[in-house]
Amino acid sequence: MIRGFSPGDVWLLILAARWTVLLSAVAFLGGGVVGLVVAVLRTAPVRPLRWAMSGYVQLFQGTPLLLQLFVVFFGANLLGFTVDPWSAAALGLTLYTSAFLGETWRGSIEAVPVTQWEAGRSLALSYGQQLRLIILPQACRIALPPTTGFLVQVVKSTSLTSVIGFVELTRTGQLVNNATYRPLLVFGVVGGIYFVLCWPLSLTSQFLERRLDLRRPRRRRRGHR
Amino acid sequence: MDYVFQFGTVWQDWPLLLHGLWATIRLSALAMVLGLAIGVAGAWGDTEGPPALQWPIRAYVELIRNTPFLVQLLVIYLGLPEIGVRFDPDAAALVALTVNLGAYAIEIVRAGIEAVPEGQTEAGLALGLHPFQVFCLIVIRPALRAVYPALASQFILLMLGTSIVSVIGAEELTAAANSIQARTFRAFEIYFTVLALYLALSLAFRVAFAAAGRLILARAP
């Protein structure tokens, strides 16, 4: 039976956004931990480790997230784990996020001048100490704007987990649409909620980028202004 | 684990996969060309165009970049018929991909335009060229050259994004995988195979873009 679209449906969608936020947080935290390992191994002075991590990043950056979710979902079932959509979504997004954050953070580590490593070594610090005390604090500063920007990507990516049956914002939108059949309105509201989640993150990322990059000349605008 | 992998059943359907692969390449290529056209036109409007044009372009860019592609696709395929704009799945897929890529392309091309030294524009204006001529003849080529790597990676992201249009049943590689899966129930084998195909395709695109970049951009202005 088709019913009308009511304010209650908007509330339902807002409640469903909690799952989008929760999944984003899990993927970001999990992906952050794994991503840090990837970034450190990717810059480690051991060649096989760098190669292995490079392959890991290539695999996740060179394939669609949707297919990664399918493979995790169906693959884990084959391995004998009974996987619900929530675990598959969390695992798939964590792996995906870790590859992208790993690559971003590798760039940040490499952006720290090599003389900083040498200075640490000349102070007789071990590799771990150089990394922890000298390199990572500086790399963090460089990594902050792109990491915030990637958070937008993570939030948007969670919408794909609706395809493997995880009931988050987009899936709830589809369910509400099936009941009300007002697709333009329903998906308009759904898009609006994503926008409210993502836009502040985008603005923060831009703000951090401008504040960090002092060498860049002022934003230039030509024309009728 | 007592599961027996059967990749043979998957390979029996290779014509379907090949067909899907070709559809993915075609769809990506079309969206790339159209999206880049929007990118150049939009970047012109954003940097040189009248203010009345600037804020709708900013709104479009921000709206698209801060919402998921899947939701944009559903708005275009399911939502627009409500106001009388109807697409078949393949057309809706192309429109959604183009609209999506266009927003990212505007941002990238705009960055390229802003990287062209002001003196170039001033030189053009001093020669008596119209601002539009300055844009077409002087600014746009070095701008595109400067951002070519960023555009190439955005194109590859777009190609990977085409897998999402399988949700509305548009014809491409993931949809082909879904239909084989529905018939054979060999979900893992088929999706694993298709994952490998996408990986090969993105590597091929990267090589092709690098080669094209050397060929097109190496020549003098």
Predicted complex ipTM: 0.91
- Amino acid residing at B109: V
Inside any domain, residue A15: no
- Chain A CB within 8 Å of residue B192 CB: yes
Helix pair angle (A65-78, B187-217), 10° resolution: 150
Within 13 A of A9's CA, how many CA atoms are on the CB side?
A: 22
Inside any domain, residue A4: no
Find chain A residues with C-beta within 8 A of B192's C-beta: 71, 75
CATH number at residue A30: 1.10.3720.10
Task: Tell if the CB–CB gap between B67 and A70 is shorter than 8 Å.
Answer: no
Helix pair angle (B14-47, B51-65), 10° resolution: 150
Inside any domain, residue A174: yes
- CA distance to A224, B20, B34, B130, per residue, from B135 (Å): 15, 40, 20, 9
Q: What percentage of chain B has pLDDT greater than the value 90?
A: 81
Task: Tell if the CB–CB gap between B167 and A163 is shorter than 8 Å.
Answer: yes
A172 CB-near residues (< 8 Å, 6+ apart): A12, A13, A16, A190
How close is the nearest chain A Cα to the Cα of B167, in Å?
Answer: 8
CA distance A117 to A131: 8
pLDDT per residue over B104-150, tens digit each?
999 999 999 999 999 999 999 999 999 999 999 999 999 999 999 99
Task: Tell if the CB–CB gap between B81 and A199 is shorter than 8 Å.
Answer: no
- Amino acid residing at A166: F
Interface of A with B in 148-167 (CB under 8 A): 152, 156-160, 162-163
Task: Tell if the CB–CB gap between A80 and B1 is shorter than 8 Å.
Answer: yes
Task: Tell if the CB–CB gap between B174 and A64 is shorter than 8 Å.
Answer: yes
Which residues constitute the domain of residue A129? 25-212
pLDDT at B213 over 90: no
pLDDT per residue over B83-111, tens digit each?
999 999 999 999 999 999 999 999 999 99
pLDDT of residue A211: 87
A56 CB-near residues (< 8 Å, 6+ apart): A38, A99, A102
pLDDT at A82 over 80: no
Inside any domain, residue A223: no
Q: Report how many domains make up chain A.
A: 1
pLDDT of residue B1: 56
pLDDT per residue over A115-134, tens digit each?
999 999 999 999 999 999 99
In contact, A34 and A53? CB cutoff 8 Å? no
Task: Tell if the CB–CB gap between A78 and B1 is shorter than 8 Å.
Answer: yes
| More reliable by pLDDT, A133 or A217 | A133
pTM of the complete model = 0.91
- Amino acid residing at A129: Q
- Chain B CB within 8 Å of residue A200 CB: no
Residue of B nearest to A58 (CA): B199
CA distance B156 to B76: 22
The domains found in chain B, sorted by start residue, are 26-217 (1.10.3720.10)
Radius of gyration of chain B (CA): 21
